[in-house]
Structure 1
Amino acid sequence: MKRWYLYMLECKGGRLYTGITVDVEARFAAHVAGRGAKFTRAFKPTRIAYVEEHENRASASAAEARIKALSSAEKRALAALTP
């Protein structure tokens, strides 16, 4: 069974981007290459700031909605957990 991941990227200007994927490294590379979301084409990603593993897409999507509802400070606190 395919694992899904919620990920948060730190982008230029200190902005954060959140998404889901089955392959975090490949998705990060796509964002860096300009093949990701419109947001990451405007604000290039600098690092993977946070990752959560989920058993299915539904769980990852629910986590994405939960993260997107957090304040900037709360998102940064999560990102601080990833070395």
Structure 2
Amino acid sequence: MTDHWVYVLECSDGSFYTGYTTDVERRVAEHDAGEGAKYTRGRTPVELVHSERFETQSAAMSREYEIKQFDRAEKERLVGRE
């Protein structure tokens, strides 16, 4: 059974990026290598600051969407940086 993950990265410019994957370690390495999302390509290095595991892709992607709607303050609370 595959785990599904939602993760939050902090980019070198202090911004947050939220994504979905089945392999967090691999995906973070891709972002750091400039092979991840277009958004993170010019903002490396990135740091993994939050992740959540889900049993289904649907649940993970719903949570990803929810987090992407958060404002900056809500994201800072999520990652423990109030």
TM-score, length-scaled by structure 2: 0.93
1:35 aligns with 2:46: no
Structure 1: which 5+ runs fail to align?
none
> Is residue 9–residue 45 contact of structure 1 (8 Å, CA) maintained in 2?
no
Distance (whole Å) between structure 2 residues aligned to residue 74 and residue 62 of structure 1: 17
TM-score, length-scaled by structure 1: 0.92
1:34-75: CA deviation from partner (whole Å, max 9, x where unpaired): 110000102114310100000011111000010011111100
Structure 2: which 5+ runs fail to align?
none
Q: 1:48 to 1:64 in 2, by over 3 A?
A: same
Count of aligned residue pairs for this structure pair: 81
Structure with the higher helix share, 1 or 2:
1
Q: CA RMSD in A?
A: 1.1
Correspondence for 1:65: 65
Residue 70 of structure 1: SS of its match in structure 2? coil
